């Protein structure tokens, strides 16, 4: 025996393993609306690593190849029976149960990636699958994405338990082996060092780093007073008269945030506009009305308009965006003392937290609660 240690895992396999761990954890921690832009980056890296692993399962070094660790199911059954009796034989590469776990984890990962891209495309209108299906599919994709992520987390848990048990049983540190790539040789298995494939690993890291930098270029290159908006919404209608008349007293809420009947009611009862008399002439009112009804929420051009519109019962005609079910539900966790904070001022002040409120987009990634009055720029 030349050496007591053998290189079992090549560099690309190690990069894949730990890269997948990091991107999965990052995507999990950055779930939800606020960090959507970074969640999606983690998702792209996760997807890319899985696709690479599929290729590497065919073209990689011996222990990385599917053919070396996918065993027939009866063999897996035999192994599992021995493993429960703590008599599982040691394997240099993946054991028969572990091999199938790899496949299962990868399948879950790929399904998570695809449902994630579908959610991004259908619910948010972003990414390569933007708008391929109507928004009514969004809930299904989103729920599947979440359920699959939980399934993968459970599989990860099982994987950790198995790794721990096997490490104890054979008195070797398996997580360390996945870091160093080396395992001790005391089996009659293929006793050869695998190629490290450093160039492939470097290319893999390079592509991921390059993509991450490109993805985040807006944060790095951005300058000026306006905040950087990671997601740009659809082109929405604009109207100078609307901006001027509504914007004179408050944010000129985009017409896509309330249905047609609400705008009609608001403009009809202009003498009592939240207890102010607007005193606009008939011509101005009719021009404002024409603009509002063509851009109303029923067009469902944005995620917000679609969800607001769906949350209003047909018999109701809200005159406040904050009366709608979707708005209430989305803001239910915000404590009252935040609303009354001097730099926020109340529920009417969308711009306090939504950086793209003026555009009417209300993208998930453009929402943040300001820390204090100093970093708060009120642009209305």
337 touching other proteins, by CB under 8 A: no
177 touching other proteins, by CB under 8 A: no
Residue from 172, 349, 367, 370 in contact with other proteins (CB under 8 A): 349
**CA atoms of 133 and 121, how far apart (whole Å):** 8
**Shortest Cβ 246–other proteins spacing (Å):** 10
275 touching other proteins, by CB under 8 A: yes
191 touching other proteins, by CB under 8 A: no
The stretch near other proteins (CB under 8 A) out of 16-24, 87-95, 109-117, 274-282 is: 274-282
Number of shown-chain residues binding other proteins (CB under 8 A):
18
Greatest Cα pair distance in the chain: 97
Angle at 36 between CA 211 and CA 27, to 5 degrees: 70
Looking at the Cβ atoms of 167 and 270, the one nearer to other proteins is 270
276 touching other proteins, by CB under 8 A: yes
359 Cβ contact list (under 8 Å, min separation 6): 233, 236, 254
Looking at the Cβ atoms of 4 and 272, the one nearer to other proteins is 272
340 touching other proteins, by CB under 8 A: no
**CA atoms of 202 and 194, how far apart (whole Å):** 17
249 touching other proteins, by CB under 8 A: yes
Q: Where are the alpha helices (DSSP H) in the chain?
A: 11-29, 36-59, 66-69, 73-84, 96-119, 138-169, 174-180, 198-215, 217-221, 240-247, 260-268, 282-294, 303-310, 325-330, 336-339
Looking at the Cβ atoms of 192 and 244, the one nearer to other proteins is 244
Three-state SS for 197? coil
Residue from 81, 222, 238, 378 in contact with other proteins (CB under 8 A): 378
Three-state SS for 1? coil
Looking at the Cβ atoms of 172 and 245, the one nearer to other proteins is 245
373 touching other proteins, by CB under 8 A: no
Crossing angle of helices 240-247/282-294, nearest 10°? 110
Looking at the Cβ atoms of 275 and 375, the one nearer to other proteins is 275
346 touching other proteins, by CB under 8 A: yes
Find, among 88, 20, 95, 4, the residue nearest to 54 by Cα.
20
| Residues at the contact surface with other proteins, assessed by CB under 8 A | 248-251, 274-281, 345-346, 348-349, 378, 380
């Amino acid at each position: 025996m030349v050496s007591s240690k053998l290189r079992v895992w090549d560099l690309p396999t190690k990069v894949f393993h730990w890269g997948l761990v990091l991107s999965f954890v990052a995507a999990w921690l950055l779930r939800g609306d606020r960090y959507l832009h970074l969640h999606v980056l983690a998702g792209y890296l996760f997807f890319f690593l899985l696709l690479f692993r599929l290729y590497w399962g065919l073209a990689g070094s011996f222990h990385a190849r599917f053919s070396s660790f996918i065993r027939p199911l009866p063999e897996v059954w035999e192994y599992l029976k021995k493993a429960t009796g703590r008599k599982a034989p040691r394997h240099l590469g993946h054991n028969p149960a572990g091999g199938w776990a790899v496949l299962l984890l990868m399948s879950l990962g790929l399904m998570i990636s695809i449902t994630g891209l579908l959610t991004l495309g259908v619910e948010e209108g972003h990414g390569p699958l933007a708008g391929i299906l109507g928004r009514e599919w969004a809930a299904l994709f989103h729920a599947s994405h979440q359920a699959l992520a939980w399934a993968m987390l459970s599989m990860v848990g099982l994987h950790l338990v198995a790794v721990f048990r096997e490490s104890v049983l054979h008195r070797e540190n398996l997580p360390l082996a996945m870091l160093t790539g080396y395992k001790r040789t005391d089996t009659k298995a293929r006793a050869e060092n695998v190629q490290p494939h450093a160039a492939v690993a470097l290319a893999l890291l390079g592509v991921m780093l390059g993509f991450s930098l490109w993805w985040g270029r807006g944060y790095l290159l951005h300058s000026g007073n306006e905040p950087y908006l990671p997601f740009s919404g659809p082109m929405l209608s604009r109207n100078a008269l609307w901006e001027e008349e509504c914007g004179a007293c408050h944010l000129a809420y985009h017409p896509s945030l309330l249905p047609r009947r609400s705008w009609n009611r608001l403009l009809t009862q202009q003498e009592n506009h939240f207890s102010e008399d607007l005193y606009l002439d008939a011509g101005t009112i009719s021009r404002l009305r024409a603009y509002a009804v063509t851009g109303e929420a029923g067009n469902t051009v944005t995620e917000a308009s679609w969800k607001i519109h769906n949350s209003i019962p047909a018999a109701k005609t809200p005159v406040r965006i904050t009366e709608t079910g979707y708005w209430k539900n989305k803001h239910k966790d915000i404590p009252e003392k935040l609303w009354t904070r001097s730099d926020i001022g109340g529920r009417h002040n969308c711009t306090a937290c939504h950086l793209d409120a003026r555009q009417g987009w209300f993208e998930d990634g453009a929402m943040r609660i300001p820390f204090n009055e100093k970093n708060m720029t009120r642009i209305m």
